[in-house]
A and B are shown apart, each in its own frame.
Chain A
Amino acid sequence: MSKIKIYLQPTPIRIWHWLNAFGIITLCITGVQIRFPDHLHLFASYKSAILLHNVAGLVVAFSFSLWFIYYAVVSRTLLKTYMPSRDDLEHGLARQAKFYLLTYFLGWKNPHHATPDNKFNPMQKSAYLAIMFILVPLVSLSGLLLTNVSPMRDLVLMIGGLKILVAIHFLLACCLCAFLFTHVYLATLGKTPLEHIKPMWTGWEEEDSTEQPHHVTGSSRLPSVAAMPRTGMTTRRRP
Chain B
Amino acid sequence: MKTEIVHKIMILGLQISLYTLIPLLAVATENSACLECHGDAAAVGESLVIEALSFDNTAHGELGCHICHASISDGHPDDGLTPSRTSCVECHDPISQEYAASLHAGKASCSDCHTPHRALGPTAVSGHDMNRQCLTCHDHADMLDKHGEWLPQADLHVSMLPCITCHSSSDQYVISLYIIKRHGNMLSGGYELASFDELSVQSNGRPIEQLVDRNADGYVSLAELRMFNLDPENKQLRLQGMITPEGVSHNFRTQDDRWDCSFCHASGPAARQVSFLSLAEPDGSYKRVPVEKGAVLDALYGTPDFYMVGSTRSTALNYVGLVILAGGLVMPIGHGTLRILTRKNRTKEEE
Contacts and interface: CB of A to CB of B under 8 A. Distances in A.
B331 A105 contact: no
B87 interface: no
Of B186, B187, B305, B320, which is in contact with the most chain A CB atoms at under 10 Å from its CB? B305
Interface string B153-167: 101100100000000
Interface residues of B, number: 51
B345 A107 contact: yes
B309 interface: yes
B348 A35 contact: no
A157 B238 contact: yes
B317 interface: yes
> A interface, by DSSP: helix, strand, loop or mixed?
helix
A47 B156 contact: no
Contacts of B330: 182
B258 to A, nearest CB: 12
B30 interface: no
Given A180-B328, A185-B332, A46 B266 contact: yes
Nearest to A179: B328
A171 B320 contact: yes
Given A50-B152, A149-B156, A157-B189, 6 more contacts: A46-B261, A104-B339, A106-B345, A163-B307, A164-B304, A177-B325
Given A181-B328, A185-B336, A45 B260 contact: yes
A199 B266 CA distance: 42
Interface of A: 34-39, 45-47, 50-51, 54, 100-101, 104-107, 147-151, 153-154, 157-158, 160-164, 166-167, 170-171, 174-175, 177-182, 184-186, 189, 191, 237-238
B346 interface: yes
B98 to A, nearest CB: 29
B310 interface: yes
B326 to A, nearest CB: 8
B265 A46 contact: yes
B319 to A, nearest CB: 11
Contacts of B300: 160-161, 163-164, 167
Nearest to B298: A163
Given A37-B266, A174-B325, A238-B349, A162 B332 contact: no
B294 interface: no
B306 interface: yes
Interface in B140-179: 152-153, 155-156, 159
A174 B321 contact: yes
B309 A34 contact: yes
A178 B304 contact: no
A191 to B, nearest CB: 7
Nearest to A154: B189
A222 B335 CA distance: 34
A35 B307 contact: no
Contacts of A166: 307, 309
A45 B335 contact: no
B349 A237 contact: yes
Contacts of B338: 105
A35 B331 contact: no
A35 B328 contact: no
Contacts of A37: 262, 265-266, 268, 310-311
A147 B270 CA distance: 25
